[in-house]
Copies of this chain bind each other. A is one copy, B any other.
Amino acid sequence: MSTSNFVDVSHHLSPETRARGVNPMKDIIRIALENPNLIALANGDPDSALNPISRIDYSVASVTSGEDPVLEWIALGANAPTQVLSTSQDEESKLRLRTALRYGHGAGHPDALQTVSRLTNAYHHAPHHVPTMTLGNADAITKVFRLLGGPGDYFLADEFTFIPMPLAAEAHGVKWVPVTIDAGGIVPEELERILASWDPERGRRPHVLYTVPSGQNPTGSTLTVERRKRIYEIAQRYDLIIVEDDPYYFLQYDLDKADGTAPKKFPPSFLSMDVDGRVIRIDSFSKIMAPGMRLGWITSHPTFHNHLVKLIDLSTQHPHGFGQVLITQLLGPSGWQLTGFDRWVRGLCAEYQRRRDLLLALFARDVASTGLASTYVPQAGMFLWARVHFERHPRFKGALPLEGRAGDGEGARVPRTNTRQLMKELFDACVAGGLLICPAYVFTIGTDPKYDDVPSHVDDRSHFIRLTFAGSEETMTAGIPILGRVLKEFFAGAPEA
C-alpha cells in the first residue's frame, strides 16, 4: 500500500507550524506522562472531583437466561430480565467515571479500545491492525474520506449508496465513480474495467473503493466470498485502499446453525484478508444496540490510525465517555462478555431474519404475483431491493432520442428511457395510496456524463425501490398490499394521450 495515498491533514500548515508539531501542548503532555512524579501546574483540566455526576447505572438486557435473549426481550417487554452495569467516580469497575468523563486520548480510552479490539479479533483476523473509536459510521467515514483525498481525486463506490456518505467527500472536492452492483455486491469485472480503461486525462486513477459489503444500503446485497477475494486482488494490482463500511455485519441471515460447541463465524471481511494494510474497516454499535449512542470504531493499519488521531485532535476530539463506559462494562467481566454479545447478535439475526421472511412472503403474495416487480433474497441488513418492471408500463419509452452525443447510442451518457419520470409518478401514487417507499433515485451518486462508468445512464438503472423490514410486522402487513394495489393501478393507467 502506497502511503502517498494518504492526505496529511496538516498539509495546509505553515512550515513553522509543522516544524513545531501539530500541537505543541502534546510535548507538555508527553513530559507529564513520562515523568509521573512532576508536580503539574501545566494542564488546565477541570478537577474531576467537581464533576457532579457520581454514578451511572445502565440497565441492559440479560443474555444469560432463556434460549434466545432477543426473543425474550421482545416478548416480556418491561418485565424482561435486565442486568445493571454500574460505573461510579471511584468504585472499582473496568472504567471508572472519574477517568471516562475526563479529557482523553483522541483514539479513545484504552479500556474501550481494548474492548473493541477484543470484539474485532473474535470475528475477524486482523493481527496487524489497530482500533480507533469513532462517533458512529457517519463520523468515521467523513474522517476517513477527509484523509484519503481532496479536490482532483476520484473514489469508487457502489453505484447505489446511502448518499450522505459520498456527499461528505464531495463536499471537500472528491469526485465519485460508480461501480455496477447486483445481488452479489459490486461486480469485480466492472471494477477492473473502470480501472484498466481509466483515461489519464480525466485525472488521477481512483485510489479508494468505498463499499458496504454486507446488506448494502439500499440494495440489500452482500458481497460473495469469491467476489471479495477478486476485489482484494484487484485492489492489490491497482493499489486501491478499500474502505469497508460494515454496519450490518452483525445482521446476517441464513447462517448455518452453530454445531452446539462454538458459534459459526460470519463470512470473512475484507479486513480478514488484508495482508497489505490497505483495508480500513468501519464498525458501529448503531444497528446492534442503538443509533443514538453515536459510537463505533475504525480498524486500520497503524499508519492510518496515526493520521486519524491527528485529525480527531483537530476536530471532534475523543468520543464521549458515556458510550465508552457502557461498551467497556457491557463486554467486560461483569457484563455480557463476548459470549453474551454473540448470543445477542445471533438473536438479532434470527429476529430480523423472521421479519425479512415475512416481508418476502408478503411481497411474493401481493407484489411479485402481479408480474410488475421482482426482488431477490437479501442475506444481511434491513432492506429489500425490488425492481419495478417499468418496461411493461403503457407509457414506458425505451428509446428516447439521443441528444448531444455522437456514436451508436450505447453508453451511459444520456438517459434512453423515461424510467426516472415513471418512478416519480409511482412514488407519488404510493404516497397518495398511504405508503412511503424509497425510490432508487435518492441513492444514486453523481456521475460524469463524459464517461461510461456504468453500462447505462443512472436514470435508466433507477428502476428499483427500497423496502425495509426493520420495522414492525404490522407495518409490513399493512404496507405491502398497498404497494401491490398501487402498482396494478399505476400500470393499468391510461397510455399517454
Segment 53-68 of A: residues with Cβ below 8 Å from B: 53-61
CB contacts (< 8 Å) of A10 on chain B: these are: 167, 171
Contact in complex: B53, A56 (CB < 8 Å):
no
Q: Which of A31, A44, A60, A472 has the most B CB atoms < 10 Å from its CB?
A: A44
Contact in complex: A142, B446 (CB < 8 Å):
no
> Is A73 positioned at the interface, with any CB of B under 8 Å from its CB?
yes
Q: Mark A146-164, 1 if CB is under 8 A from B, else 0.
A: 0000010000000000111
Assuming the A-B contacts A138-B317, A289-B53, are A41 and B294 also in contact, with contact meaning beta carbons closer than 8 angstroms in the complex?
Answer: no
CB contacts (< 8 Å) of A421 on chain B: these are: none
Give the segment of A181-189, A256-264, A318-326 that binds chain B: A318-326
Contact in complex: A163, B73 (CB < 8 Å):
no
Contact in complex: A12, B170 (CB < 8 Å):
yes
Contact in complex: A382, B46 (CB < 8 Å):
yes
Checking B287, B441, B480 against A46 with a beta-carbon cut-off of 8 angstroms, the contacting residue is B287
Q: How many angstroms between the C-alpha atoms of A480 and B41 in the bound complex?
A: 9
Give the segment of A15-23, A113-121, A195-203, A398-406 that binds chain B: A15-23
Segment 309-360 of A: residues with Cβ below 8 Å from B: 313-323, 326, 344, 348, 351
Contact in complex: A42, B12 (CB < 8 Å):
no
Chain A interface category by residue count: 35 or more
> Is A131 positioned at the interface, with any CB of B under 8 Å from its CB?
no
Q: Mark A248-279, 1 if CB is under 8 A from B, else 0.
A: 00000000000000000000000000000000
Q: Shortest Cβ distance from A149 into chain B, in angstroms?
A: 12
Contact in complex: B470, A46 (CB < 8 Å):
yes
> Is A372 positioned at the interface, with any CB of B under 8 Å from its CB?
no
> Is A74 positioned at the interface, with any CB of B under 8 Å from its CB?
yes
Q: How many angstroms between the C-alpha atoms of A277 and B455 in the bound complex?
A: 50
Q: How many angstroms between the C-alpha atoms of A50 and B467 in the bound complex?
A: 19
Ordered by A's residue number, 23 sampled pairs between the chains whose C-beta atoms are within 8 Å are A13-B167, A17-B167, A25-B442, A38-B431, A42-B468, A44-B217, A44-B383, A46-B286, A46-B287, A46-B288, A46-B291, A46-B382, A47-B472, A50-B74, A53-B58, A54-B78, A54-B80, A55-B57, A55-B58, A101-B290, A101-B291, A102-B291, A294-B317
Closest 10 CB pairs of A and B: A292-B321, A322-B322, A101-B292, A101-B290, A55-B59, A24-B442, A52-B61, A294-B320, A51-B290, A39-B479
